């Protein structure tokens, strides 16, 4: 199936300033404290590395690297504080670009679906999970409706809304909608833990933990359910540690905890 994709880099005055390769080179310089060693690890010549760094320094508001002298190795090259700021800026913009592309990638090779997505503004919401879906089926049981939503070829979600909301939003089979899920509404654990802690109708999925961020009292996890679907969940740190969670995680989301946006 065809899929929308796109490369990302930052230009300055119409020319490339920062891209994935250049940022990786800066990271290698930071790691080794040497342009020679960084070039070697990047499998490029010293001249090519020097040319790229010089080009970035010329375009940057402030220098990204500086020379050091003395020491056991006789000096080397290190990154400046401004370079670290620029790398962080690049990574944040690349993350936003990825979110942007992921929303449109849901259209696949369907030009009508893509036009539908592009004609609407992005939702502004505090919910971490905003998933583009297509309505596959609508079951009406007064006063509520259960929507079966296709996320990709591998994953379906079910959400419950009122019949009035269905009519007000003009949702019908084939409509493209957003499934909006707060990270705190995603229950994470082992299969048995998930089953015994749910009493409502729920979406039970399994995935791989691809990102783990620890805070004072909580843990944020990014769980890859399929190649096109990541779910962000927040769990209590103590409770999660008791479960002894591995890279494989079961997650459960109540039908009622999925909001629908158009």
pLDDT at 3: 61
For residue 113, the number of C-alpha atoms closer than 13 Å in the C-beta half-sphere is 20
Q: Which residue has the higher pLDDT, 141 or 191?
A: 141
Rounded to whole angstroms, the Cα distance separating 92 from 168 reads 36
Q: Smallest Cα–Cα separation from 262: which of 144, 170, 189?
A: 170
pLDDT value of position 58 = 93
Same fold, 9-102 and 111-261: no
Architecture of domain 111-261: Beta Barrel (2.40)
Of 3.30.1960.10, 3.40.50.300, 3.30.70.260, 1.10.10.10, the CATH number of 9-102 is 1.10.10.10
pLDDT interval class at 47 (50, 70, 90): very high
Please state, in angstroms and rounded to a whole number, the distance separating the CA atoms of residues 198 and 18. 47
Find, among 127, 246, 253, 132, the residue nearest to 187 by Cα. 253
How far, rounded to the nearest angstrom, does the alpha carbon of residue 134 sit from its chain's CA centroid?
20
Structure tokens at 27: 């990271």
41-50, 125-134, 229-238: lowest mean pLDDT where?
125-134
Residues found in the chain? 262
- Give the domain ranges of the chain: 9-102, 111-261
Q: What is the pTM of this model?
A: 0.54
Report whether pLDDT(175) > 70.
Answer: yes
- Report the alpha-carbon distance of residue 131 to residue 150 in Å, rounded: 10
CA distance 256 to 240: 24
């Amino acid at each position: 199936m065809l899929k929308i994709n796109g490369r990302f880099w930052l230009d300055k005055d119409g020319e490339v300033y920062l891209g994935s390769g250049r940022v990786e080179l800066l990271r290698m310089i930071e790691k080794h404290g040497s342009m020679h060693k960084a070039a070697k690890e990047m499998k490029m010549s010293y001249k090519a590395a020097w040319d790229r760094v010089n080009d970035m320094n010329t375009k940057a508001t402030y220098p990204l690297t500086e020379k050091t002298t003395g020491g056991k190795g006789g000096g080397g090259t290190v990154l400046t504080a401004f370079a670290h700021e620029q790398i962080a800026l690049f990574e944040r913009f690349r993350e936003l670009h990825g979110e942007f592309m992921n929303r449109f990638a849901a259209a696949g090779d369907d030009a009508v679906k893509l036009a539908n997505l592009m004609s609407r503004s992005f939702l502004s919401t505090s919910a971490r999970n905003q998933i583009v879906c297509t309505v596959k089926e609508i079951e009406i049981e007064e006063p509520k409706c259960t929507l079966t939503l296709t996320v990709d070829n591998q994953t379906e979600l079910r959400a419950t809304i009122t019949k009035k909301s269905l009519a007000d939003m003009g949702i019908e089979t084939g409509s493209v909608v957003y499934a909006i899920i707060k990270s705190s509404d995603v229950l994470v654990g082992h299969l048995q833990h998930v089953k015994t802690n749910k009493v409502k109708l729920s979406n039970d999925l399994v995935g791989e933990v691809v990102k783990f961020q620890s805070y004072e009292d909580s843990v944020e996890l990014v769980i890859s359910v399929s190649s096109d679907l990541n779910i962000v969940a927040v769990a209590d740190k103590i409770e999660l540690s008791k479960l002894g969670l591995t890279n494989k995680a079961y997650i459960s989301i109540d039908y009622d905890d999925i909001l629908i946006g158009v």
